[in-house]
Amino acid sequence: MADHAGKWINRVSHQLKRQIFWDEKPEDLTILQKSILHFILFETMHRDLYQKDLEKEFKVRRSTASENLRMLESKGYVRRECARQDARLKRIIPTRKAVLLRDELLSAIERTEGRIREGVEEEDLEVFFKVLKHISSNLSAWEKENVRTERMEEKNESEVASVSQGI
C-alpha cells in the first residue's frame, strides 16, 4: 500500500484551496474564512443560516466556527441577529460588502470546477464521489465515537475526584 488516501486527500485539498482563492478578493481573509464566506453567500440565498450549520458543513468545532464568524463580522462581511423563533440562535446575514463579491466568487468556483473535471469521465466522477462520501462517513463515525469516549472519561475523572474529596 504505497499510496495513502489521507495524503492524497490532503494534497488535493491544499491545491484546491490555493487555486480557487489564487488572486481572489478579499485579501484580508484566511482561506477558511473565504470558504466560510462562500458558503454563507450561497446558502443564505435560499435559507436561514446559523453557526451550527457552519460547524456541520466544515466539520469544525464550535470555537473555530465562532472565532471565524467573529472575524468576518469585525471585517464587515457578515452580521448576526437573533432568530425570530429562538433568541438564543443568531442568524448569519451577509452584508452588502459581502454580497458584492458573490458573482466573482461564483466565477472562481466554476473555473476551478472545470479544471478539476477536465479529462475525467462522468463514471469516474460518480465513483469518486461515492468513495469520498464513504470516507467522510467513516471519519465522522470515528469522531462521534471519540467525542463520546472523551466525555465518558471526563465524567469518570470527575466522579473519581468527587469521591476522593469526600473521603
Say if residue 127 is in the same domain as residue 112: no
Would you state the pLDDT for residue 148? 66
CB burial readout 133-156, b (16+ within 10 A) else e: eeeeeeeeeeeeeeeeeeeeeeee
Maximum mean pLDDT: which of 6-10, 80-84, 99-103, 118-122: 118-122
Categorize the per-residue pLDDT at 130 as very low, low, confident or very high, splitting at 50, 70 and 90: very high
For the chain, the domain total comes to 2
Q: Between residues 92 and 151, which one has the greater pLDDT?
A: 92
Q: Is the pLDDT of residue 160 over 80?
A: no
Given 118, 142, 159, which residue is the final one in a domain?
118
The single-letter DSSP state of residue 77 is S
Q: Parallel, antiparallel, or unpaired: how do β-strands 78-82 and 90-94 relate? A: antiparallel
Would you state the pLDDT for residue 86? 86
Say if residue 73 is in the same domain as residue 95: yes
Would you state the pLDDT for residue 53? 96
Say if residue 92 is in the same domain as residue 46: yes
Q: Which of 132, 129, 105 is nearest to 117 (CA)?
A: 129
Q: In whole angstroms, what is the distance from residue 76 CA to residue 71 CA?
A: 9
Q: In whole angstroms, what is the distance from residue 105 CA to residue 97 CA?
A: 13
Angle at which helix 5-20 crosses helix 102-117, to 10 degrees, equals 140
Say if residue 87 is in the same domain as residue 167: no
Helix (H, G, I), strand (E, B) or coil at 92: strand
Would you state the pLDDT for residue 27? 79
What average pLDDT is seen over the chain?
85
Say if residue 131 is in the same domain as residue 102: no
Say if residue 108 is in the same domain as residue 75: yes
- Residue range 68-78: average pLDDT? 96
Q: Is the pLDDT of residue 121 over 80?
A: yes
Q: Which residues are CB-contacts of 102 (< 8 A; sequence separation ≥ 6)?
A: 41, 42
Q: Is the pLDDT of residue 165 over 70?
A: no
Categorize the per-residue pLDDT at 150 as very low, low, confident or very high, splitting at 50, 70 and 90: low
Q: Is the pLDDT of residue 159 over 70?
A: no
Q: Which of 1, 72, 63 is nearest to 32 (CA)?
A: 72
Structural domain of 95: 1-118
Say if residue 153 is in the same domain as residue 99: no
Would you state the pLDDT for residue 95? 96
